[in-house]
Structure 1
Amino acid sequence: MRITPKEELEHRISRLQSLMAKEGLDAVLVLQNADLFYFTGTIQSGCLYVPVADEPVYLVRKEFSRARMESGLREIVPFSSMREIPARLADYGYPLPVRIGMELDVIPVNLFERYRAVFPSSAVSDATPLIRRVRMIKSKYEIHILQDAAVQIDKVNRRAREVIREGMTDLELAAELEFTARKEGHQGLVRTRAFNAELFYAHVFSGADSAVPAYVDTPLGGLGLNPSFGQGAGLKRIERNEPIIVDFAGCVDGYLVDQTRVFSLGDISGLLRKAYCDMLRVQERMMELIKPGVPWGAVYDECLALAVELGYADSFMGNKGAQVSFIGHGIGIEIDEYPFIARGFGEMTFEAGMVFAFEPTVVVPGQGAIGIENTFYLSHFEGLRQLTCSDQELTCL
């Protein structure tokens, strides 16, 4: 079990406090599990109170002993009722804040109202943009964990070469790969921030099933097993001469990387093979473009223009009518972090320390999907580096 170092937590909180001061916030209240893990090193139930200039206080409802064991923060105190919070803060000499920030994108309304009753005179604003900006810059500590996750996903990729066989179902293949990942330390949960954006390990599908659109905001959906979770692997049997998509999220110690590779038994159609080569060209174009100071949206616009020039206006990043408006997304503790290589992000720019997945994809109804995805790191000293390390060649078995 890897415990987040105390110095790492202190650095993260210091960066958040700096942004809070610029926004005029007196305090931020952190409640969501991914954010709690990032700032405390654990997800024990409670809330983290971050004042703008003093020591944060982690108020834990359950389980206090584990919070003490897992978190490197100095001030961790038990509480049993929200009514106790003002008194616990007063113990540290903290007055009730005039302006407080909360994660308004993810907190349920009922829970928000209960906390607002604790701070009745405080003006509440959304702290999520500040938290996202802190989390989007990865430390050396985080990069090392992400590299471990890339090694895990490469083992999954190697296992795919061993187990894919004609006649097995997409579900059977997914189960084999999930078993491999689990043995390598995958926590099983792929965290996402967006509402109702549920994911489970990976999208694994073959042939025409990989072109089936779904509700999830991804270029590929898949039929799934039933309408209650209508995405991902289904019961279609793998046949010869069709693409087999393995879009897998590796996870080590809470940190995710994203990778897609394409396999086939025998060859695939010339149309799909050309599309795969063209998606590699789109990836190469992205790698040429991304540098500190370049707008996220500008990279999206340039790569989309190249895909359209190559003939994929109606099939790039999804079926016609179901295409998504992004090509890449930040990744770390959640799979949908900053930066977004997407339409409408012309004001936000790349910075050293960012980690993101880039996934140019073509969908051909009746034949299937084809594409490539890798996770990248914009290094302070080495420029853009690829973290995922599996062979990028289309694998014909």
Structure 2
Amino acid sequence: MTDIADMKLSADQLARSSGRIDRLRQRLAAEGHSAMIIDHEIDIWYLTGFVGHDATLVITTDVAAILCDARYEEYLRPWKDGGVHEVHIGPRQELVRRIREVAQACDVGTFAFQAEHMTVARLQQFRSQLEGIDFISSHGHLLALRMIKDDHEVGIIEHCIDIQQRALHASFEQLERGMTESGFTAILEFEMRKLGATGAGFDPIVASGPNSSVIHHMPCERPIGDGPLLVDWGARYDGYCSDMTRTFQIGPADGKMAELYDIVLRSQLAAIEACRPGADCAEVDAAARDVIASSGYGENFPHGLGHGLGMEVHEAPNFSAKQAGVLLEPGMVMTVEPGIYIPGFGGIRIEDDVLITETGHRVLSDMDKSAGSVPLNLR
């Protein structure tokens, strides 16, 4: 659909939003809260399906009220007509007054707020201008809800993966000797948009030669030539994103590169095999780390093994030694991305997106990993 005038929320969209809001209410009630103010854009998107700047969502036991300014009035009409949400439109300067109106209508005297997102300035404003209403810090409710993906969410992530894989293949067809990292990055982002992505899931990493040893390298004007080429990229579609990494050898085969690639691949496969419900996140990290350490490169793997993936590229939980006691659950989507980085030579990282299932796991990405050790010739 392209015409905003024809836009409607489907029954499935409304049911999804209603279900997520009810699950949040249950978590709040278990903590002794009856209302919450949410001003984190991604969490509002998750709960309502609406994304817009400067919106605030007020959740009470009876009401889910979207407070926004006139920029989004027409866009929000389907939410107003859907029967699940209230919509309050007005100047940003009147936000406090509108919150008070909702609080009075719903007999709310205390609001929980997201301690991980609300700024000190915003909290001070609320406390000074909303006399008689208490604000209590609360943490982690939306993180916990968003950790577990349903089939609908997994399907969107799989579509993101399909887009990004096809886009990389299309981009490689245009890769020529002397093209810069920045130039190839631009092609890759364009190809993802051509295939329907709303954009990249994050700023892509395209690192050639010795630049590939920089874990979060920013593409620059270095010409791509012989040596390793590390590409860490993802697509964004319908609010969700994907995240993969592949490392290729440009030009003649390199024995050292092939050796390191084999170690990293074995490390990744060991970690993926360890992914199952009830597995400890620290133990999955150790499964990968042990392979690399036993090969003599433990100090060259300085980052955590991976992270949750969803509406944000980095979500809870994480694979790291610090996550001991955090257990995998069905519905989690995790990245598994071990690497070895040697300054002056380059780096190798292999990353896939893995769904935790009721019985084990399913790798969502299917791009051939053996191709990473095969020379990639440039025109």
5 Å-filtered alignment, 1:1-397, equals 5-44=13-52, 45-51=54-60, 53-62=61-70, 63-69=72-78, 73-80=84-91, 81-90=94-103, 93-98=105-110, 100-120=111-131, 121-127=133-139, 129-188=140-199, 190=201, 199-200=202-203, 202-212=204-214, 220-222=215-217, 232-240=218-226, 242-316=227-301, 323-324=302-303, 326-380=304-358, 383-393=360-370, 394=372, 395-397=374-376
Q: More displaced, 165-174 or 299-308?
A: 299-308
- Residue 188 (structure 1) shift: 2.7
Number of matched pairs = 359
Structure 1-normalised TM-score?
0.84
> Whose helix fraction is larger, Structure 1's or Structure 2's?
2
8 Å Cα contact 2:35/2:58 also seen in 1: yes
Deviations 1:29-57 (A, max 9, x none): 11111111111111233211112x32322
8 Å Cα contact 1:375/1:387 also seen in 2: yes
8 Å Cα contact 2:272/2:336 also seen in 1: no
8 Å Cα contact 1:60/1:67 also seen in 2: no
Q: Give the whole-Å Cα distance in 2 for the aligned partners of 1:77 and 1:267.
A: 63
- Residue 119 (structure 1) shift: 4.3
Structure 2-normalised TM-score?
0.88
- Residue 87 (structure 1) shift: 4.3
Equivalent AA in structure 1 for residue 345 of structure 2: Q
Equivalent AA in structure 1 for residue 357 of structure 2: S
8 Å Cα contact 1:167/1:239 also seen in 2: yes
Equivalent AA in structure 2 for residue 26 of structure 1: S
- Residue 247 (structure 1) shift: 0.6
- Residue 118 (structure 1) shift: 4.7
Q: Give the whole-Å Cα distance in 2 for the aligned partners of 1:74 and 1:384.
A: 36
Deviations 1:292-328 (A, max 9, x none): 1222122223322332112111211xxxxxx33x110
- Residue 77 (structure 1) shift: 2.3
Name stretches of at least 5 consecutive residues in structure 1 with no aligned partner.
Answer: 191-198, 213-219, 223-231, 317-322
Distance change (3 Å), C-alpha of 1:133 and 1:118 = farther
Q: Give the whole-Å Cα distance in 2 for the aligned partners of 1:168 and 1:246.
A: 14
- Residue 355 (structure 1) shift: 0.7
- Residue 165 (structure 1) shift: 2.3
8 Å Cα contact 1:257/1:388 also seen in 2: no
Q: Give the whole-Å Cα distance in 1 for the aligned partners of 2:69 and 2:325.
A: 40
8 Å Cα contact 2:267/2:287 also seen in 1: no
Q: Give the whole-Å Cα distance in 2 for the aligned partners of 1:368 and 1:186.
A: 30
- Residue 189 (structure 1) shift: 5.7
Equivalent AA in structure 1 for residue 118 of structure 2: I
Q: Give the whole-Å Cα distance in 2 for the aligned partners of 1:30 and 1:239.
A: 48
Equivalent AA in structure 1 for residue 114 of structure 2: E
Q: Percent identity?
A: 26
Q: More displaced, 348-357 or 79-88?
A: 79-88
Equivalent AA in structure 1 for residue 216 of structure 2: G
Q: Which SS does the other structure have where 1:42 is aligned? A: coil
Q: Give the whole-Å Cα distance in 1 for the aligned partners of 2:325 and 2:63.
A: 33
Equivalent AA in structure 2 for residue 69 of structure 1: P
Q: Give the whole-Å Cα distance in 2 for the aligned partners of 1:117 and 1:136.
A: 34
Equivalent AA in structure 1 for residue 156 of structure 2: I
Q: More displaced, 156-165 or 2-11?
A: 2-11
- Residue 146 (structure 1) shift: 0.9
Distance change (3 Å), C-alpha of 1:160 and 1:189 = closer
Aligned to 1:320: none
Q: Give the whole-Å Cα distance in 1 for the aligned partners of 2:260 and 2:166.
A: 26
8 Å Cα contact 2:113/2:135 also seen in 1: no
8 Å Cα contact 1:187/1:252 also seen in 2: yes
8 Å Cα contact 1:206/1:245 also seen in 2: yes
Distance change (3 Å), C-alpha of 1:103 and 1:90 = closer
Aligned to 2:4: none
8 Å Cα contact 1:32/1:107 also seen in 2: yes
8 Å Cα contact 1:292/1:352 also seen in 2: yes
8 Å Cα contact 1:165/1:265 also seen in 2: no
